[in-house]
Chains A and B, each alone.
Chain A
């Protein structure tokens, strides 16, 4: 082998290395809830871009644990699609990259989901970018409504209407129920129960998450509303101990008249239960008004990554009409308000209601959200699972107790 060929070979190898370096690879983790749209979005991006995204789907219950251990060992992924309620806790721990400049450089920054951005901001800096969205809505079973002599095209708009409709559906038969909710699932109830309170003018936190306000007139009314339906057996017995396992499945059996759920259910029902006819409407307040929990994922970046350019490229793709349409077709609502209608154009009209609910949706802000709300053993779930299935007399003392328990966790974290 001559020196010329050797050097030539080296040169070629060097050139190959440089071009490789041009095509950066970013590692991205997403929770298993995202498995309907995330792989498709990443595939489409990888096909059309030089930058590569390496996606890993992580079971939702173990995501935080796996991320924490990986970052302790120095092998955290470059980016993470994180359940948005965790963003304050992650941001406050100093684990995330400040994305304020990146965010503000986007021309459509002002149309990104405000609820996502509000929980994505910590001490004035943006750490979480809106990525996927899931809004809570109310579903009703049109077939059961028709059978019960109700207008199948008109969903309830107040609590009293929900109760009246549920009663009629319940009267259809022993194994047909008017209403369903998962009684022992803090995550499900923050998502579907708090909007009832918000729409009636109350809230469970005040002062930027620093004060617990569990014991309010709105909360007591909402509990009395649910409790009444439980007592009159409009709700199946299993609701009491449901830790979320039947959150979706109960309505899918076709034997439930009304249930609060999320926009994810639209895609899941259409795909898996095409014979179930259902309507989608807003979660109402006591005497009208509407609200929604804006859920979904924030896109966060591990501190110290050198691949911000490539990450921005991926985000811009996700925010493009193509990206937003892909999301919308596969179970997530668009997070860009200005093109949401376009992205949802060819889809089931029921998505539009969900998207509208999303745009007006709220997300509670707390650095100890997991402790307070999501934990099955936290004050939110313990209090609700008690009062919703107890006597009316137990509501007030239990709420006071829950309020104090929440406040003490908030105070301990400060």
Chain B
């Protein structure tokens, strides 16, 4: 198979589905989509309820006693302000994403294209990272960060998040490189393109859907993680958003301010949503662009 057939494949017109099936499939799709959205819609709508209304069963889901911003005000009263902590979270999440992509693309390429001693062992070692309950290595992690003088820094947190992302990301990138037909690399090699240049200019665009997935998941996990952030950061100014929300939700004897929790869920969701919407096109563009190359 050659480069041109791939581009031809993607560009080739899809066969039209019969109309009836099309409608039925859309009906089913819409129904399932609504089911997926419903719990979130309930949470977002509950955010705008007044305190007393938020404690009632959410039927109907929208506020009936007028829109209230009580719940957001509750959030504002914690820590150094939502904005400050949002910025911390953004820094951590973006840095984690960038570093995860860099490290896992290199590793995925290495695992996919080269043979070297102990390859199987290293691969299992990377995978094993996700098999330990994170709680049980927290104390050692803290001691190591202290040793590296990275304790209480966002950099230390980022390095740990990247490590936690590696099993998924490396596996994903290795698969992505494996899925590229060998003829493409072969053709490039004949043209004298090898090594890093081959990776960046020829294979990179082809594995774009994989890169986008890896980056997106890295961002989401770093954005939502709270336990490591809470335990490894000792000064409150460095706290990320989820730590703040955990403090908000914990009331006396485990009692929960439902309204404030929903407000937190809503605020946490917004950047992730924007990111997902922005990246969606890249799943497709990554593939087509790669094929055209």
Mark A residues whose CB is within 8 Å of B. 32-33, 35, 56-62, 65-66, 68-70, 72-75, 134, 182, 185, 187-188, 191, 243-249, 252-254, 262, 264-265, 272-273, 275
Q: Besides A61-B246, A253-B55, A262-B252, 16 other CB < 8 A contacts? A: A33-B250, A35-B247, A58-B230, A72-B143, A75-B234, A182-B254, A191-B253, A243-B254, A247-B253, A247-B255, A249-B55, A249-B256, A249-B258, A252-B55, A272-B51, A273-B51
Whole-angstrom distance between the Cβ of A369 and the nearest chain B Cβ: 14
- What secondary structure prevails in chain B residues at the interface with A? helix
Is there an interface contact between A246 and B255, defined as CB atoms closer than 8 Å? yes
A33 touches B251 (CB 8 A): yes
Also in contact, A188 and B254, with CB within 8 A (given A56-B235, A70-B234): yes
Contacts of A74 in B (CB 8 A): 146
Kindly list chain A residues whose C-beta atoms are within 8 Å of the C-beta of B253. 182, 185, 187-188, 191, 244, 247-248, 262
CA distance A32 to B260 in the complex (A): 14
Partner of A244, one of B52, B235, B254: B254
User: 3 tightest A-B contacts by CB?
Assistant: A244-B254, A248-B255, A247-B255
B98 within 8 A of A: no
A-chain residues with CB within 8 Å of residue B254 when the two chains form the complex: 182, 185, 187-188, 243-245, 247
A173 to B251, CA, bound (A): 30
Interface presence of B122 (CB below 8 A) = no
Q: Does B101 contact A (CB under 8 A)?
A: no
B187 at the binding interface (Cβ < 8 Å): no
A134 close to B252 (CB less than 8 A): yes
Interface contact A245-B256, CB-CB below 8 Å: yes
Interface centre among A60, A182, A187 (most CB of B within 10 A): A60
A243 and B249 alpha carbons, distance in the complex (Å): 14
The distance in angstroms between the C-alpha atoms of A246 and B231, with both chains bound, is 27
Cβ of B146 and Cβ of A75 under 8 Å apart?
yes
Contacts of B45 in A (CB 8 A): none
Judge whether B55 and A33 touch: CB under 8 Å: no
Cβ proximity bits B77-111 to A, threshold 8 Å, 1 near / 0 not: 01100000000000000000000000000000000
Which residues of B have CB within 8 Å of A62?
A: 227, 230-231, 246
Interface range on chain B (Cβ under 8 Å from partner): 20 to 34
CB distance from B163 to the nearest CB of A (A): 18
At the interface, yes or no: B7 with Cβ under 8 Å from chain A?
Answer: no
A245 touches B255 (CB 8 A): yes
Contact A72 B247 (CB under 8 A): no
Q: A59-B230, A70-B234, A249-B256 given as contacts; is B250 within 8 A of A75 (CB)? A: no
Supply 14 A–B pairs (Cβ within 8 Å), ascending by A: A33-B252, A35-B78, A58-B247, A59-B246, A62-B246, A72-B139, A74-B146, A187-B254, A245-B254, A246-B256, A249-B55, A253-B55, A273-B51, A275-B52
Which residues of the other chain, A, contact B258 by a CB distance below 8 angstroms? 249
Most buried by A among B138, B243, B251: B251
For the complex, what is the distance from the CA of A69 to the CA of B151, rounded to whole Å? 12
For A187, list chain B residues within 8 Å (CB): 253-254
Q: For residue A33, which residues in chain B have a CB less than 8 angstroms away from its CB? A: 250-252
> Within the assembled complex, what's the spacing in Å between the Cα atoms of A264 and B146?
38
Task: Tell me if A69 and B138 are in contact (CB < 8 A).
Answer: yes
B42 contacts chain A at the CB level, 8 A cutoff: no
Given A35-B78, A69-B231: A248 and B139 interface contact (C-beta under 8 Å): no
Chain B: which residue is nearest A70 at the CB level?
B234
